[in-house]
Amino acid sequence: MIQAIIYDLDHTLFDPGSIDKQIFESAFEWLESAGMFSSEEMTMIRKDFFSISLNAFIDKHLTDTTREAFVTKLKNLPLLPKLATYRDGHVVTGINVTNYLVTSGLTEFQNQKIDALGIRDWFAEIFIDDPLRLTWQDKEEIMKCIIETYGYQPSELLIVGDNPHSEIKAGNNLGIQTIQILREGIIKSNLADQCIQTLAALPKIIDK
C-alpha cells in the first residue's frame, strides 16, 4: 500500500514558464555586459535558462568565474509575486498519504517559488538538490534518505515527476514505482512505470 508520494516541483506541480521572465533580466543583462557572448549565444542562453536544468545550463554556458557572479545575481533577484500551481495541484492535499517534495535548483530560488506558491505545508519534508551546494549528490541520494529516515519500503512509495533522467531514473534505481506526468512540452518516456496527463489520475493508481 502506498504510504507516501515524492513529488518533483518544476513541470510537475508548477509550470516554471509561468514566471514573468523579466524577473531574470538583470542576471542576463549582467552576462551580456560581461561581453563574452555573441547575440546568438545570448539568445540561446535566455532560451536554455528556462528549458534545461540549472546544472545543465551552467555546464553548457558558464565558466567558473561567470558562474559565481551569475549565481549571485540569481540569489538577489526581486521577490517573486504570488504564484499558482498547475490547476490540478489541489489533488496533492486531497490524497491521504504523506507528501515529500524533492526538487533540483538553486536553494534560494526554489524556496522562493515554494513560498510564492504557498505549498510549503503540503509536505512533511522538502529537499532541494542544489547543484552549487554539496548537501546532496543527486535525487537518488535524497530518496534513499527518505527511505532510511522514515523507514519506508520502496513498495510503499510513489514518485511523480516529469524528468526520466532525474526523479524517474532515481526511483527506478531504488525500486520505487514511478509516474511520469506529461505536462505541455514533456516527451513521454518508457522509463516510467506509468504516464499520466493529470494529477487527478493519482487516487486511482494508489487505490490499486
Stretch that binds Mg ion, among 8-16, 43-51, 79-87, 196-204 (CB under 5 A): 8-16
Q: In angstroms, what is the minimal distance from the CB of 186 to Mg ion?
A: 8
Quick one: 130 or 162, whose CB is closer to Mg ion?
Answer: 162
Stretch that binds Mg ion, among 38-46, 68-76, 163-171, 177-185 (CB under 5 A): 163-171
Stretch that binds Mg ion, among 19-27, 33-41, 132-140, 162-170 (CB under 5 A): 162-170
Q: In angstroms, what is the minimal distance from the CB of 10 to Mg ion?
A: 4
- Options 2, 11, 54, 106; binder of Mg ion; rule CB under 5 A: 11
Q: Is-contact 31 70, C-beta < 8 A? A: yes
Within 33-52, the residues that bind Mg ion by CB under 5 A are none
Contacts within 8 Å (CB) and 24+ apart, 120-129: 122/92, 122/93, 123/7, 123/99, 124/4, 124/98, 124/99, 124/100, 125/100, 125/101, 126/100, 126/101, 127/100, 127/101, 127/102, 127/103, 128/103, 128/104, 129/102, 129/103, 129/104, 129/105
What is the binding site for Mg ion (CB under 5 A)?
8, 10-11, 162-163
